[in-house]
Every structure is written in structure tokens, then in C-alpha cells.
Amino acid sequence: MSDPKVTPAHLRRAAAVYCRQSTLIQVERNRESTLRQYDLVSRAAALGWPRPAVRVIDADLGVSGSGLAARAGFTEMTEQIALGQVGVVLALEVSRLARSSAEWYRLLDLCGITDTLIADESSVYHPSMFDDRLLLGLKGTMSEAELQVLRARMLGGLRNKAARGELRIPLPAGLVWGEQPGQILLHPDEGVRGAIGAVFERFAACGSARQVWLWLRENALQLPSARDGQLAWVTAAYPAVHKILTHPAYAGAYVYGRTRGERFIDACGAPASRRRVVTSSQDWQVLLTGHHPGYISWDTYLANTARLAANMAPARGAAGTGATREGCALLQGLAICGICGRRLGVFYRGPAKSVPGYQCNGGVLVSGGQGRFCTRASGLRIDPAVAQHVLEALTPLALQAALDAADQAEAGNDVALDQWRRQAEQARYAATRAERRYRAVDPENRLVARGLEAEWEAALQAAHDADAELDRREQARPVQLSPDERARILALGADLPRPKPPYRTSEDTISLIGRLAVHYDDSMIAKVLNQQQRHTAQGMSFTPANVATIRKRHNIPARQGGTGHDEDGEVMSVHQAAAELGITASTLYRWLNDGFVPGEQITPGAPWRIRLTQSIRELVADDAPAGWVPVQVATASLGVSRQTVLQRVKRGELRAAHIRAGRRKGLRIELPACQDGLF
């Protein structure tokens, strides 16, 4: 039944049904409210609008109507009203259209000017009529007040629960909620706890978040990240390291109110909101120290944050020396300009930028880049004079401090190795789990078995790579100082300014040169050492000349030439073995990669060496025996992957030969006489 306020002029225009829910959770769970809003189409039809003339605007489902969020659907509707295309706006209630009086009254003014009606489930209103506008105004005011009441009630409950430390706020990686109210526990995964603990241990040693980040990257260690309640391992990034060092939850503190919402006017003149980080702990709404077990104590957390603030002080124009940076200048962050009192900057010149200097940029900054430096001096005389005074003031206690620093470096290597052991253990567990999943499936169901087999192979490869990397890092671990070496270093304190210990190549590098010299010349040895990013005692790259010098100094004989030969076969390089077998080197490298042919590598980066046994020679032939098929045919016939076929050949379950002549070159497989499936 049509309302008397609805005129033919209104019916000639469209009817707009506006649907809105405040959050996506309401859209998902409060389905009845959404269905009631869509049912307003029937209400428009009852008022006289034909179904094709009813437009449903639902772009704002999940968007707040407080006036701070951009609403595309509301903007579209107001544009159509301003163009005179809408005869009536239908909404379930006033709060669906707006929770803000500013937006509500602008809509009423626009509808009054364009002769547009506003309707809900029970009534039809005309904003240009005084009584209807008064009633609509009261409804808008009540809607805005209702929002404030609901917000105050909700926030009051949250604050009250947070004051007891029981509000379940998102926790950083390394901490999990327990079953009891307010119970927070350390993460049960030892690898996660080890990664978080390593960050705090390294910061205690080096005192810089950036140095911790570089240490993580140097050792290829990942950090855990909590994303949507799920734990993920990601490449270490500086913001993640800084967050770990500054998050109070790691110090056993429960904090609520570390961010604060505020309203402002954006560049377009519209009201908007944003979140501000509250840096001072005194301004946090809730701070409960000792609330749960932490990785560090609260006093350590305060010391860490103070140290980080001091590191950033020069960049922010505050007092402080800042974090120690790269470069050989002794007074970086310490020297003060005697003219203007500003801290001196550092510059480098000369070959390889090895000569430090100090300058004050105060005059340049004041004059907008046109002035001169207040002070500019070379460090050639300043640094040696400072070094002399420092050496005169040093005692054997300072040498003990140097030994302590060496112990800290060794401890850092131990921490990295421990984390790599956990990662290798995790990779082995993943491979075992993939194997269990593969063996649990019916072998006849190839649609599933093929995917699980590929997953198992990938997990096995990942476990192999993790074990290989762990072995490499354990071998590259720095040699610890012996008690005699520590005693000799402490004895230098009697005359510290005079003695200058000679440059000496590390024992690990000397031992590696001795093993490589048995098989390779000095040029190849230098190439291998540089690939492993090793350096000479002076910090330079290796060349054939300094490799030869190290050999002669340590009585290491040069390579005598020829190949090794014993009862197990002749040892050759890949290219020599390929020429002997009559195949290409790329084929032999592919066999090595597939594990089809065993190879030897003295150290990572060294050339591969093949022990050419009789069994390997028998793998190569000029003609294929009758009935032997290519690998592709064998995989299709057996219903397994190429890698599985090669594994069976390695185990002796299948016979294979590489055909090196004719048009049908490649690997040939002898199929078994009876095929009963995978096993």
C-alpha cells in the first residue's frame, strides 16, 4: 500500500536501498540483519516502485559509519541524489545511513533540496517538512549517542580486563597464550625460543640493533614471525630485530595502550583517524611487570631501550655518541668542534679511502650550503696521538677485556651453530613426516602418491642441504685460544705500546691450503679460497703469489701433477673423466647432481673429482641392449618419478647404461620382467 507522501514524481525516479554493516565480522556472523536490509527491496515495491527501478547499494558492508572511514557506497548514493536520480532512500534504520551528525544533516539537506524521501521499515519521511525533519534529526542524534554509549561500554570492559592482565591481545612471536586466564607462556618450539634468545644475546655483546641484524644475515639465520595467529619463518629484517629488542612482552611485562587513536583533518579537509605509538612507558594505560616468564628481565629491557635511544641520538640531533660504525677513524662520534660545539663528522680520503679526517658542518648548515666548515683536520696526526695516550693508559686488564671480546665472538658462533642445529633437526623431522604421509597412501592411487612422492623428495633435499650447511659451518668455526696463547697475550701488558704481533694466516686456512695443494695448483687454490670469502692476514683477497708464499713458509709442497690411482679406481677431474668415458662434461655434472655417479669435493667451491671405477665405465656403451628403454618410458611404465628411477639404479634394483653413439643418445633402463607396483 503506497504512502501519501509518495508522488508520481518520486516514482519516476529510482529507489535506493542502502545496506551497511559496521565490521566484516558482523557481515559474517550477523546474517539476519543483512537479510533484513536486502528485504527492503520488497518495501520499495510496496511503496509503488517497480523492481527494475530499485537499486541496491551494498558496497559499504563491513565499513563503519562513524564518519572517519571512507564509504564508497554512501558517496555513490549521495551523487545520485544530487543528480536528481533517486526518489526515495530506504535504510533499515538511521544508524545504517550515518552515525555522525555532520554526515546525517548533510544528507537531510541534500534530500530536502532534491525532493528525495527517506524511508525505513515502518515510515516514510520528507526532509523538507518541518515535523519529519525534526523527527529525523532526533533519530540522528540518538544514533550518534548510541554509538558513543556502545563504544564507552566496550572500551570500559576491555580496559577493566586489561588491568587484570587477562585481555588476550596479540602476542609477538616467541610467546603464546596459556589455558588459564591471563596466562602467557614461552613458545614450546625450542627453535623459536633459540632465535629470540639469540637476538638478545648478540645485542648484549655488540650493543647495536643493526649489528644484530647484520649478524643474522651473515649467518643466514631466520626469525619467527606471528602472522594471523600462525608462526612463519622469514628472512631477518631490521624492523623485526628492533621490534624484538623494544617489545616489553619479551621482558615479562603485560602492556595495554602502546598505541593511541587520534583524529585529524587530512589534506582534502576531511576528518580521518590514525594510530600513534606511545613511546613513553609512563603513558601506557596498563603496565604489569613480572606478569609472565620473559626472555630478559625488566631492568635489562630498560637498559636495552636506553642504549637504542643513545644509538639514535646523533641522527635525531640529540646529545650522545651514537652506535659504533664502520671506518678506521678513532674519534667518530666523540670529537666536538671547538668553535660552535657541534659534533664533528668523519670523512675519508686517499687510496681505498684509508685516511680519516674530521670536519664540522655547522657553518655549511647555517648558511644553507654556501658557508665554510668551522673545523676541518686530517686524522693522520690526531689518531696516532690519541692511540698513544690510550695505549699508555691501558693495563693488562684491557687485554683481558680483549680476550673477553674474543670469548663473546666465539659465543656468537656457538649461538649461530645451535640455531643451525635446530633448523637441521626441523628439516629432518619434515622429511620424516613427508615419508610417513607417502607410505600411508595406497600406492595404486597415483593421483595422490605422485604429489606426496614429490613432497618427500623436496623434504629430503631440504634436509640434506641443511645438514651440509651445518657441517660447513661447524668446520669453519674459529679456533679457540689455548691457555698458553691467552697467557702470552696477557704478558703483552708489560710493554703494550712497543710489541706489534706479526700478521699470520689462520690455522684453518693453512690446513685447507695443505689439503688443496695435493690436487690443485696455486691458481685453483686461490680461486677456491676467494669463493669461500676467506682473506689473507692483511684482509686482502688471495692470489697465486700469496698462496705460493704461504706454502713455502709452512713447507707445503706444490702439486706434483698426474692423477691418483688405487685399487678402487683412478681419480680424475670431471673433464678428464668425461673425455675418458667419451661423454660431455655437462652429462657428468648432471649425473653428479642426481647422485647417479659418486664424486668427491675436498671443500665447498673446489672442483669435483670423479673416481673412475669399472662400474662407472660399464655405465657407458655404444649400443643399447635389446628391450632397454629411455628414462621417460621407464618412469611411465613403472609409474614413478625420474629421481626414483635413478635411486633404484643407484641401489642396484635396476640396470642402466648411457648410450654415447648414434642418434638415440642418452640413458637406457632395463625394465624388470614382472612389475607389481611401487614396492
> Got the DSSP string for 171-201?
PPTTEEE-SSTT-EEE-S-HHHHHHHHHHHH
Give the distance between the most distant pair of CA atoms in the chain.
112
Helix ranges, 444-521 (H) = 446-475, 483-491, 507-517
169 closest CA partner among 72, 291, 82, 86: 291
Q: Which residue has the higher pLDDT, 88 or 661?
A: 88
Least confident range from 539-553, 560-574, 598-612: namely 560-574
450 closest CA partner among 460, 459, 441, 463: 441
- The pLDDT tens digits for 378-424 are 777 787 777 777 766 666 566 666 666 556 656 667 777 888 888 88
Mean pLDDT of 659-678: 66
Phi, psi of 274 (to 5 degrees): -155, 165
Exposure letters 652-677 (e unless 16+ CB within 10 A, then b): eebbbbbbbeeeeeebbbbeeeeeee
Q: Which residue has the higher pLDDT, 284 or 595?
A: 284
Contact 152, 158 (CB under 8 A): no
Q: Which residue has the higher pLDDT, 402 or 68?
A: 68
Contact 551, 523 (CB under 8 A): no
What pLDDT, on the 0 to 100 scale, is given for residue 585? 78
Residue 603 scores a pLDDT above 90: no
Q: How confident is the model at residue 676 (pLDDT cuts 50, 70, 90)?
A: very low
Which residue's entry shows cell 698426474? 562
Residue 589 scores a pLDDT above 90: no
What pLDDT, on the 0 to 100 scale, is given for residue 302? 92
What pLDDT, on the 0 to 100 scale, is given for residue 247? 92
What pLDDT, on the 0 to 100 scale, is given for residue 678? 39
End-to-end CA distance of the chain: 77
What pLDDT, on the 0 to 100 scale, is given for residue 71? 85
Mean pLDDT of 592-615: 75
27 closest CA partner among 61, 60, 56: 61
Q: Which residue has the higher pLDDT, 601 or 482?
A: 601
- The residue type of 293 is P
Q: Which residue has the higher pLDDT, 196 or 609?
A: 196
Residue 366 scores a pLDDT above 90: no
Taken in order 253, 256, 257, 261, the sign of the CA dihedral is positive
What pLDDT, on the 0 to 100 scale, is given for residue 350? 66
- Determine what percent of the chain is predicted with pLDDT higher than 90: 15
Residues serving a catalytic function are 22
What pLDDT, on the 0 to 100 scale, is given for residue 679? 36
Taken in order 405, 406, 409, 414, the sign of the CA dihedral is negative
Phi, psi of 453 (to 5 degrees): -65, -45
What pLDDT, on the 0 to 100 scale, is given for residue 503? 57
Residue 657 scores a pLDDT above 50: yes
Average pLDDT, the chain: 80
